[in-house]
Chains A and B, each alone.
Chain A
Amino acid sequence: MDLKGKQITVHDMCLRDGMHPMQHQITVEQMVAVAKAMDEARVPLIEVTHGDGLGGKSVNYGFPAASDEEYLRAVCGAVKHSRVSALLLPGIGTVDHLKMAVDCGISTIRVATHCTEADVSEQHIGMASQIEGLDTVGFLMMAHMIPAEELVEQLKLMESYGANCVYITDSAGYMLPDDVSDRVGLARRELKPDTEIGFHGHHNLAMGIANSLAAVEAGASRIDGSMAGLGAGAGNTPLEVFIAVCERMGVDTGVDLFKAMDIAEDLIVPMMEQPIRIDRDALTLGYAGVYSSFLLFAKRSAEKYKLSSRDILVELGRRKTVGGQEDMIEDLALDMAREAGTL
């Protein structure tokens, strides 16, 4: 694979996707410390929000240690070089949240929908694209669930609403490199040349780096990852590793590799409540194609109702659940426990 001379933008997820394994309890002080270190390392873009995006604060997804506004104001005020993004899932957050985040000083808004439902983002992407200088990104989750042709139709919708960048998001960490090449490649051929394409991976099948490289080769110019992989499931593409690989391959990320390693080792790993690794359940997510942030919910319900978390996750995959359906997990566990005669 020859990627020599390519320039890409890496986007760190520790302070958003990383909120999932941290049960949304990262403190404002921790966020500021991490953001300052990222700024020093010249990470160009960092995402900050509740794990489920703006407005994610809920019984269903978890109550965070601080509000989106507190996190965003603190981080936006702490960085000089890095730009800050926020995630918004229509159906959870609204344009009111978007306006608040813009007021806090974000440079980038990412509007996320399930891969077949891009049209619910029209209102949000449309409005964001009208805001002077706001980098507006459309983000299609669980992109493994539909073939490349259908996915590109949905990406085109987001482009038509005003997104200047669109993402293929492997929320379940299910894709293999060919799946990524197909989707990114077709998108690159079909979308406008000045629309950027991004890829967001999860490491559930240990494909984070390989998939991200496949994406770059097929024409993606933005790659998500997180230092030490802090993210849902087995985490995101470990960013310090990806940066090292990029350096070896002659891909320019603009990030200081050793500083990135230090962030992972000295700041992120000590913060973790449990190791981010491909344990049996995280592997099941990738194998069965299940939304990565279901992991801890399935573990908790399994413990509470004396079930196997793997059985719960496999069943969630079989039922074709989509991102955000965390409420289904306890409901399903109750059904399974009743069937097993343990309720």
Chain B
Amino acid sequence: MAEKVKAAIIGPGNIGTDLLIKAMRSEVIEPVWMVGVIPDSPGLARAAELGLKTTADGVDGMLDEMQADGVQICFDATSAAVHAENSEKVTARGAVMIDLTPAAIGPYCVPPVNLDEAMAARAMNVNMVTCGGQATIPIVYAVSRVQPVSYGEIVATVSSRSAGPGTRKNIDEFTRTTADGIARVGGADEGKAIIIINPAEPPLIMRDTIHCLTKEAPDEVAITRSVQDMMAEVQKYVPGYTLKNGPVFDGHRVSIYLEVEGLGDFLPRYAGNLDIMTSAGLRTAEIYAEQILSGNFSPKVSAA
């Protein structure tokens, strides 16, 4: 078996567990630690069954051993409130932090748009924006790379069952962080994000609408081609990323309607919003891992 980069997942909830299942298929990542805070949590038990080392003492429970275990990549699937502390501890011990919380202390990373930049900057902490951001920012960028976009707006509709307690308690983080990502990564002058939670049964598949206002009349042919190219890029890591309708052109408005179905690893297929986060996080980690394995990047230990 080829050499792999060892990784730890912090947060054994739905996201962390789905990520674990995906990471176990990776050619370049080997998950070795699952970190939790509740001793009898099913997520920790499942990880232990799959052969990972586990701790219920939070990140502190792993720190003494992580360097000896060769952990060079960590995923944080906990919450924004504890992320900064987690990140400081593991990056000091030479691990790159992939942040799946909305804490956003590191640069935003949307793989098909700016993963190369994060890599080039050798960022030790990268943030995966939000689920809505991962689903829509590639499309905003697909329009803005054709011609200037004065305003980008997205509406993400997710099923009630896929909106976890973290999202619910701090829904403002979603709207703010996504709007910021639409501008900073998507390339729109101004960003706006809306999230709708729908309780219908059976649960609806994640839907996303992207509206862009172009400064000049939109080049319909070029934008349509660019959006289709981007769809193919995202489909490489989220096969259920589907263009339902559009681009629709109406004056300077360009609207694109998407559906995001997940792989159904640990999370159900309708929860494309969660799947696209874990898939994007893993994809980011894999690019880092390839650089580490090829000797182009070696995360530095900064702890005394």
State whether A334 touches B211 (Cβ < 8 A): no
Question: Max chain B CB contacts within 10 Å: which of A58, A90, A320, A331?
Answer: A331
Instruction: Render B185-199 as a binary contact track against A, CB cut-off 8 A, 1 for contact.
Output: 000000010111111
State whether A114 touches B211 (Cβ < 8 A): no
| Interface residues in B240-269 (C-beta closer than 8 Å to A) | 244-246, 248, 253, 255, 257
By a CB distance below 8 angstroms, the chain B residues around A324 are 155, 194, 196
State whether B194 touches A330 (Cβ < 8 A): no
With contacts A60-B153, A60-B209 known, is A94 near B199, CB below 8 A?
no
Identify which of A13-21, A119-127, A234-242, A262-270 touches chain B.
A119-127
State whether B155 touches A60 (Cβ < 8 A): yes
User: Nearest Cβ distance between residue A332 and chain B, in whole angstroms?
Assistant: 9
State whether B176 touches A325 (Cβ < 8 A): no
State whether B200 touches A91 (Cβ < 8 A): no
Q: How many interface residues does A have (CB within 8 Å)? A: 29
Question: Max chain A CB contacts within 10 Å: which of B153, B155, B170, B244?
Answer: B155
- For residue B225, CB closer than 8 A to chain A, the reply is no
By a CB distance below 8 angstroms, the chain B residues around A319 are 200, 204
With contacts A59-B211, A327-B209 known, is A320 near B197, CB below 8 A?
no
Main SS of chain B's interface residues?
A: strand
By a CB distance below 8 angstroms, the chain A residues around B160 are 116-117
- For residue A328, CB closer than 8 A to chain B, the reply is yes
CA distance A280 to B55 in the complex (A): 62
State whether A325 touches B253 (Cβ < 8 A): no
User: Nearest Cβ distance between residue A142 and chain B, in whole angstroms?
Assistant: 10
Cβ contact of A59, chosen from B153, B196, B204, cutoff 8 A: B153
| Interface residues in A98-144 (C-beta closer than 8 Å to B) | 114, 116-117, 119-120, 122-124
- For residue A95, CB closer than 8 A to chain B, the reply is yes
Cβ contact of B199, chosen from A60, A114, A331, cutoff 8 A: A114
User: Nearest Cβ distance between residue A328 and chain B, in whole angstroms?
Assistant: 7
State whether B171 touches A327 (Cβ < 8 A): no
With contacts A120-B168, A331-B257 known, is A58 near B207, CB below 8 A?
no
Cβ contact of A328, chosen from B174, B176, B207, B246, cutoff 8 A: B207
By a CB distance below 8 angstroms, the chain B residues around A60 are 153, 155, 194, 209, 211
Cβ contact of A320, chosen from B170, B198, B255, B257, cutoff 8 A: B198
Cβ contact of A91, chosen from B153, B197, B204, B213, cutoff 8 A: B197
State whether B209 touches A92 (Cβ < 8 A): no
Instruction: Render A48-89 as a binary contact track against B, CB cut-off 8 A, 1 for contact.
Output: 000000000011100000000000000000000000000000
| Interface residues in B150-202 (C-beta closer than 8 Å to A) | 151, 153, 155, 157, 160, 163, 165, 168-172, 174-176, 192, 194-200
State whether B169 touches A122 (Cβ < 8 A): yes
State whether A123 touches B209 (Cβ < 8 A): no
State whether B170 touches A331 (Cβ < 8 A): no
Q: For A324, give the chain B residue with the smallest CB separation.
A: B196
Q: For A98, give the chain B residue with the smallest CB separation.
A: B172
CA distance A106 to B255 in the complex (A): 36
By a CB distance below 8 angstroms, the chain B residues around A285 are none
Cβ contact of B248, chosen from A91, A95, A122, A330, cutoff 8 A: A330
By a CB distance below 8 angstroms, the chain A residues around B255 are 59, 330
By a CB distance below 8 angstroms, the chain B residues around A322 are 196-199
- Chain B interface size, as a band, is 35 or more
With contacts A59-B211, A334-B248 known, is A120 near B196, CB below 8 A?
no
CA distance A117 to B248 in the complex (A): 32
CA distance A330 to B256 in the complex (A): 10
By a CB distance below 8 angstroms, the chain B residues around A190 are none
Cβ contact of A334, chosen from B163, B170, B197, B245, cutoff 8 A: B245
- For residue A335, CB closer than 8 A to chain B, the reply is yes
State whether B176 touches A335 (Cβ < 8 A): no
CA distance A56 to B176 in the complex (A): 14
- For residue A221, CB closer than 8 A to chain B, the reply is no
State whether B198 touches A331 (Cβ < 8 A): no
- For residue A7, CB closer than 8 A to chain B, the reply is no
By a CB distance below 8 angstroms, the chain A residues around B169 are 119, 122-123
State whether A335 touches B245 (Cβ < 8 A): yes
State whether A90 touches B172 (Cβ < 8 A): yes
CA distance A206 to B195 in the complex (A): 32
- For residue A308, CB closer than 8 A to chain B, the reply is no
With contacts A59-B253, A60-B209, A122-B169 known, is A325 near B245, CB below 8 A?
no
Q: For B167, give the chain A residue with the smallest CB separation.
A: A120
- For residue A321, CB closer than 8 A to chain B, the reply is yes
CA distance A322 to B159 in the complex (A): 11
State whether A114 touches B197 (Cβ < 8 A): yes
By a CB distance below 8 angstroms, the chain A residues around B204 are 319
By a CB distance below 8 angstroms, the chain B residues around A58 are 153, 192, 194
State whether B192 touches A91 (Cβ < 8 A): no
State whether B196 touches A91 (Cβ < 8 A): yes
CA distance A335 to B242 in the complex (A): 14
CA distance A120 to B176 in the complex (A): 15
CA distance A94 to B213 in the complex (A): 23
State whether A331 touches B197 (Cβ < 8 A): no
State whether B153 touches A123 (Cβ < 8 A): no
A selection of 17 A-B contacts at a CB cut-off of 8 Å is A59-B253, A60-B153, A117-B160, A119-B168, A122-B168, A123-B169, A123-B172, A320-B199, A322-B197, A325-B196, A330-B245, A331-B244, A334-B245, A334-B246, A334-B248, A334-B257, A335-B244
New contact pairs (7) apart from A324-B155, A335-B245, CB-CB < 8 Å: A60-B194, A91-B174, A91-B194, A94-B175, A321-B198, A330-B255, A331-B245
Question: Top 7 nearest A-B pairs by Cβ distance?
Answer: A327-B209, A320-B200, A59-B211, A94-B172, A331-B257, A334-B245, A116-B199
